Structure 1
Amino acid sequence: MAAIYLIRHGQASFGKANYDQLSERGWQQGRVLGRWLAGKASPQAVVGGSLQRHRETAEAIASGFGRDLPDMRVMAGLDEFDHTAVIERYRPQWADRARMARDLQAFPKPAKAFQDAFVAAVARWASGDHDSDYRETWPEFKARVLTAFEELVAFADGSDVLVTTSGGPISVMVQHLLGLDDARTLGLNEVIANTSVTRVLYSGGRRSLAVFNNYSHLEAEDPALVSFR
């Protein structure tokens, strides 16, 4: 069976003016993953979402891979949901980034405080009780991702492919493969590490989850490289 390697992007630049760019740690995570993949995979294609962090993750992987990888094909259906809008619908005052930074600094652990707020914001979005507040609802997001997944399988056409995307789309694909409910799916999204690998085997109409959220390449290189946001 052929394999689709679903890779969550490297660490983005939380708290910076441009969140979408990789942090230095994110670039390093991608290079480490590239070195790890070099002995384990021979991808015939590279696909990614349209976000900067997806493209830069593919570039970092190629740098570590050590030999030529195909140019990345962009598939916008693999993009993450609009996390900024989801947060701002939950806490409208956080549209002011300076206000959000001040609020978070009041907590002993600002990163954990943000994560807790983010989990609550995503739960609000996925509940279906406030769909009119969002440009893309949770059901619409899932439908978009699963359409992209089938397009991805058709494009791969029986070959191995690397895919740089985000935690949300990976969670939705795993939900589809395992028949999970929404609560478990949202729980998965909270634990997917940066540059972790989720491997899907496919042949014809068959799709099987072989590996979920493997980040042993980071742990082997330097445990300090492991990050979830």
Structure 2
Amino acid sequence: MATIYLVRHGQASFGKENYDQLSPKGWEQGRVLGRWFAGKVEPAAVFGGDLERHRETVEAIATGYGSALPDMQVVPGFNEFDHTAVVERYRPEWSDRAVMARDLQAFPKPARAFQEAFVHAVQRWASGEYDHDYDESWPEFKARVLAAFDEMIEYADGGDVLVATSGGPISVIAQSLLGLTDSKALALNEVIANTSVSRVLYSGARRNLAVFNNYSHLEAEDPALVTFR
């Protein structure tokens, strides 16, 4: 059976003007993963969404890998859902970044406060009660990701594949393979580490989740590299 390596992107730039780029730690996470892949993984194809953090994660992996990887094939279906829109539907006042920053600074741990708000925002989005509020509903997001997954497998034609994507798509793929409820899938999304690797074994129509959210490469190099946002 061939293997699909689903890689969540490296740490993005939370709180910066451009979130959609890797932080310095995110770049290092990618390089560490590349070194871990070297000599173990030889992908026949590389895929990713069209987000900057996906492309940069592949670049960082290639740097650590030490030899050429196949050019990344862009499949927008592997993009994350629009987290900004999801949060703003839950907290409309946070469309003003200054207001969001002020509100979060009132908490001892602003990042944790944002995470709690984010979880509630995603639960609202996925509840099915407010689909009209969003350009892309939760069912539409799942359908888009799974269509991209099928497209990628058809293109790969039985070869090993590396996919740089985000936590949301990885959770949706795991949900589909394991028959999980929506609430279980959302819970998975909360614990997927940056540059963690989930492995799907496939042969023809057979697809099985073999490994989920492995970030031992980071723990072995420096536990401080383990991040979830």
TM over 0.5: yes
Q: Residue deviations 1:189-227, cap 9 Å, x none? A: 000000000000000110010100000000000000000
The alpha-carbon deviation at position 40 of structure 1 amounts to 1.5
Q: TM-score, normalised by structure 2?
A: 0.99
- Secondary structure at the aligned position of 1:211 is classed as strand
Q: Residue deviations 1:44-101, cap 9 Å, x none? A: 1110000000000000000000111011010000000000000000000000111111
**Residues in 1 aligned to 2:39 and 2:105: alpha-carbon distance in whole angstroms:** 43
**Residues in 1 aligned to 2:113 and 2:78: alpha-carbon distance in whole angstroms:** 28
Matched residue type, 2:141 = F
**Residues in 2 aligned to 1:185 and 1:85: alpha-carbon distance in whole angstroms:** 20
**Residues in 1 aligned to 2:225 and 2:39: alpha-carbon distance in whole angstroms:** 20
1:68 aligns with 2:59: no
CA RMSD of aligned residues (A): 0.4
Runs of 4+ in 1 over 2 A off after TM superposition: none
**Residues in 2 aligned to 1:114 and 1:26: alpha-carbon distance in whole angstroms:** 19
Structure 1 unaligned residues grouped into runs of 5+: none
| Corresponding residue for residue 142 of structure 1 | 142
Identity %: 76
The alpha-carbon deviation at position 110 of structure 1 amounts to 0.7
| Corresponding residue for residue 174 of structure 1 | 174
1:156-171 alignment, distance < 5 Å: 156-171=156-171
Structure 2 unaligned residues grouped into runs of 5+: none
| Corresponding residue for residue 207 of structure 1 | 207
**Residues in 2 aligned to 1:40 and 1:101: alpha-carbon distance in whole angstroms:** 43
**Residues in 2 aligned to 1:210 and 1:175: alpha-carbon distance in whole angstroms:** 13
1:113-128 alignment, distance < 5 Å: 113-128=113-128
| Corresponding residue for residue 197 of structure 2 | 197
Matched residue type, 1:20 = D
Q: Residue deviations 1:83-137, cap 9 Å, x none? A: 0000000000000111111110100111110000000000000001001100000
Equivalenced residues, count: 229
Matched residue type, 2:183 = A
